[in-house]
Structures are given as C-alpha cells and as structure tokens.
Structure 1
C-alpha cells in the first residue's frame, strides 16, 4: 500500500471531506466568545475549492449551528460564478439554505473596470431579494470601486453594506463624506481593524477571529466604546497575528492557527497545500508567541 504524506494528501483528488459537525462546534465556540455573525464561503472557506452542493451544505450547517442567535451570510465567489448571470444562480440556493444575506465579489476571471463591475453587481442584486454586502478588495481582485462608483449603486436597495478591503483607511471617511450612511461599512482587513472601527466601520469581517475570537471581540468592543488606550494595547499584541490575514497564504496561515488554538484543522484543498518546513516553523512561532502572551483583558472579555 502506497504511503501518503498527511500534510499534502488530497484524498485522490477528491479533496478533504467536509466536517460539518466540526464546523458547527467551531461556530458555537465563536458565538460563546461574542461573535455576532458569520460570513461563510469566503476566502477562508475555500469557496472556489468546493462544489456547488458542498457550498449549500456548509451554509445550511452554519444556519443550523447558529440557531437563529446570529445571522449567517453566504459568500458568492469562485470560478463557477465568474459572470453576473452565473453568480445569480447561487444566491437563490444560499437563500434556500437559510442565508440571511450575501457577500458578493467581482467576477473572478476577467479583471473588470469599475463600469463593468457595477454592471456585475447590479445583475446579481436584481436577481435576488437578499441584502448584499459588496466585497471591495482592490489588492486581491484588482477591482476598486470608489465612493463615486458606490453612489451609482446606491439605487439598488438591497446593496446595503461594503466590506472595505482597499487597504486605505482614508476610504472609509471618503465614503461617509460622499454617501453619508447609505451603506454600512465593515472592515475587511485584519491589520487595519482598529483604524477602521475608530473611523466609522460598524463591523469587522475578521480572519483571525476564527482562532482568537475572544480577543477579536474584545478589540471590537473597546473600539466601539472608544476606549482607545486599552484598544491600542490589545491591538499591538494582536498585530503579528493580524498581519497573517493579508498574506497570499492567509488560508494556510489562519488554518494552522485554528489547529494550534484547538478551533479546527490545518487541512486545505488543492491547489493549496498544508504548510511545511521553515515556512511552517516561522508561522507556528508567531502563533505560539501570541498564545503564550495572551493578555488577560482579552481572554476575560
């Protein structure tokens, strides 16, 4: 019998099977820590590595685990959803699975200009009656919607929020100055969380909250309460971890943190591979240092 390296085993191309029971346990612990909602099938959910049926199963499992206590948002992205018309198919399935809203990305294959991206988002918005949060990430997806672009989309009533990931904290103030409170703005970049929250973001779609939910909730609450000195102290401890969310291998880095903190597994599906060698040692050392130096304030929050 051939030996397989468990760090790279992809189950003969089928990929690691979903562990929906573990997903439910993970969400339960995050709810207990104070998390107020979940975005499923985002980057960390390895959206483009799942089949359409698996995506539905993940959302349905999350809705069941949440039990009405918090809302579940479904990410709409991936190669299979690279046009507005194709993406308009998935939202109805997500709604049927119980999703309370959608996080919608630009088309993933063709790098659109802003006019084309606006057309894409309009197509999806008009195909469903769920509230939509647009994921604006010019770094990863090479599409940048400006405040003027969002002014054009303001006529679509179910586009209600923006996950702001342009890596420019000035953008939040520009959005408020141009559009007042037409959209709810949420931080989408972990290592800009405090700045974004202090500048007016009403929420944080966090990667590291998957592994350090108590600390993430504590940071959010301190920022919301304008307890800046305490927030800065916690943020400085958190920052080496938060930087991991902005790397190309953020999925592998955060899933390793999940495993080391007891919240999940480091397993990933192709084309990603589990970390190994010096890279794994380096990331594990960052995570372990954070575990060893956890501040009392955060763990007690």
Structure 2
C-alpha cells in the first residue's frame, strides 16, 4: 500500500527552542512538490525522542497538511509500551495514515517482548504499521522469522529495513514473498536495496536533495539502472552523512547550505562547530558544485 520516497523529515526549531511551524510548512511542502510519496514525522532524524507527545502530534499535523492524499506517518519510539500505546492512539485521532514503530529504545527487548510490544502498539493505533527494524541504532533486531509471526495481523504492512546488511531484504522476500512492503532505511544502501526489490526508501538526505532522491527511485522503477547509478555515485558522499551518530546535525547542515534552512537542534544535541562543521560543509559544497543534470523520467 505504501511505496516510493518517504522522507524522514527534520523537526525545525525557533531560536527560542520552540517548534518552527512556518519553516516546517515550507520544507515539507518542498518535499512533496519535488515528487516525494509521503512523509514520516519524528523519527531519529526528526529528534522525536526529544519532543513531547503534543509536539510530535503537532509535527504530524503539519506533515499531513503537506501530504494531502499521500501518507503521513508518526514514529512511535517510547521506552514503555503503555506510553507508546497512548501516543499511537493519539496519532490515529490526529489524522495519521499510519505509524512507524521502533521497539523500545531504552530496554532492549527479547523476542517475546518485542513481538508483544509491537502487537500492543498496533492494536492501540489500529492503523497500518511500518515496523522499524534497526539492530544497529536501537539494538533490537526484528528478524524475518519474527516478521512471519507478526504477519497474522494485517495492520503490519511494511518494514523499514535498517539492519545494515543488504542480504536481509532478500531473506525477507524469500521467506515472506510480498507480504510486506519493504523499504530501505539506510541512505547509502539505497541503490542496492531498491535493485534487490525494495519498494521504497525512508530517506534522510532527501530533505536537502529531494529531486535527486526521487530521480534515483523513478529511474530504477523504469529499469534505467545506469542513469540511476550515475546519480547515486555522485550522491554517495552526501548519503554517508546519514550513517553517523551526528546524522541529525549533519543533515540539518546540508539543509542550511542547499535549501536555506537552519540547523537548530534540541539539547543535548548541539549544531556542528570547528573542523567537523567545515568537513561537512566541504562535502555538501563539493556535491553541489558537481551536481549532475537529472534526466527526464
């Protein structure tokens, strides 16, 4: 039911640290105008765990305003199942088209606990669910056999596959066929995942470079692999910025340079400074200077 390029959008803040609604409206609209297929609010890149529930719902509403009849999802990433279920129910009331669930990011659940956690949140939301499987970032691996066990609940419709192992996508397909819509969640494995059968990309650098991101997806869909690969190879130094402890600050700095946004973050994060900032600026500026023309598709 879901496919394509779905940005994991950044959350924008004012100088006082409040939500910057106007800047998010501008940035979210730009994503959709550039051909994206939906938006995900308040994930890792969106600093969701630094926001109150009400703030997350506010960002979700802005996403839904931008997506129109395309999906707007809220990320559910709570330490406790009770709190996750509460937020999931609120997301449904606020107009979410679905939720993306991260198993508990604080207590690292075992198999039984992970499955019970996911089932409870899905029931509370009663919306289509994307399972976020990220054993690298969150240390809980939702494995293909767990996906098979969850497949009896039709609310589980998609997987954000972020294991950092490109073989995992094929393992899911071999075991479960097309039961789930498989999305890649690792920017610098996107070409590999999409050509292996993933139907979409929950993307990060897309927030600064949406047209290039959409072009890669659309060209692969049309089996124009060489053209897509040329763009992807140009894009790789930028995409590598997504795979870092500092992905939020790095991608927000890319937004500063490319689309004139800001890189304000919520404490304890702080904007990049010194040599780290200079290095990221050099990567982004070099990419902009060598940007390839995009083919028609």
- Per the shorter chain, which TM-score range? over 0.9
Q: Does the CA contact (< 8 Å) of 2:32 and 2:66 recur in 1?
A: no
Aligned residue in 1 for 2:79: 82
TM-score, with structure 2 as normaliser: 0.92
Deviations 1:110-166 (A, max 9, x none): 012222211110111122210000100000001112111111111111011000000
1:140-151 to 2 correspondence within 5 Å? 140-151=137-148
State the partner residue of 2:293: 296
Q: Which residue is equivalent to 1:260?
A: 257
Question: Post-superposition shift, 1:72?
Answer: 0.6
Aligned mate of 2:241, from 240, 244, 260: 244
What pairs up with 1:15-54 in 2 under 5 angstroms? 16-54=17-55
- TM-score normalized by structure 1? 0.91
Contact 1:253 1:283 in 2 (8 A): yes
Secondary structure of residue in 1 paired with 2:183: strand
- Contact 2:14–2:264 (8 Å) recurs in 1: no
Q: How does 1:90-105 map to 2 (within 5 A)?
A: 90-105=87-102
Partners of 1:241 and 1:287 within 8 A in 2: yes
Corresponding position of 2:5: none
> In the alignment, which of 178, 193, 199 is matched to residue 196 of structure 1?
193
Q: Which runs of 5+ in 2 are unaligned?
A: 1-12
Structure with the greater relative contact order (CA < 8 A, sep ≥ 6): 1 or 2?
A: 2
Q: Secondary structure at the match of 1:191?
A: helix
Q: Does 1:206 align with 2:200?
A: no
Once residues 254 and 234 of structure 2 are traced to their aligned partners in structure 1, the CA distance between those partners, rounded to angstroms, is 15
Aligned-residue offset at 1:93: 1.2
What is the alpha-carbon distance in structure 1 between the residues aligned to residue 196 and residue 178 of structure 2? 13
Of the three residues 247, 270, 274, the one matched with 1:277 is: 274
User: 93, 113, 116: which one pairs with 1:116?
Assistant: 113
- Cα deviation, residue 94, structure 1: 1.1
Contact residue 14 and residue 20 of structure 2 kept, 8 A: no
Q: What residue is the counterpart of 2:159 in the other structure? A: 162
Q: Secondary structure at the match of 1:88?
A: helix
Aligned equivalent of 1:62 = 63
CA–CA separation in structure 2 for the residues paired with 1:83 and 1:51: 15
Contact 1:137 1:166 in 2 (8 A): yes
User: What's the Cα RMSD here?
Assistant: 1.6
CA offsets 1:58-101 (integer angstroms, 9 cap, x no match) = 111221233x2421111111xxx212222000012112221100
User: Could you give the per-residue CA deviations for residues 151-189 of structure 1, whole angstroms, max 9, x where no partner exists?
Assistant: 111111101100000011111111011011111100100
Residues 209-243 of structure 1 show CA distances to partners (whole Å, capped at 9, x for unaligned) of 10000000001111111211111111110000001
Secondary structure at 1:162 match in 2: strand
Q: Tell me which structure has the larger Cα radius of gyration.
A: 1
Change (3 A) 1:263 1:93: farther
CA spacing shift, 1:200–1:266, aligned 2, 3 Å: same
Alignment coverage as a number of residue pairs: 285
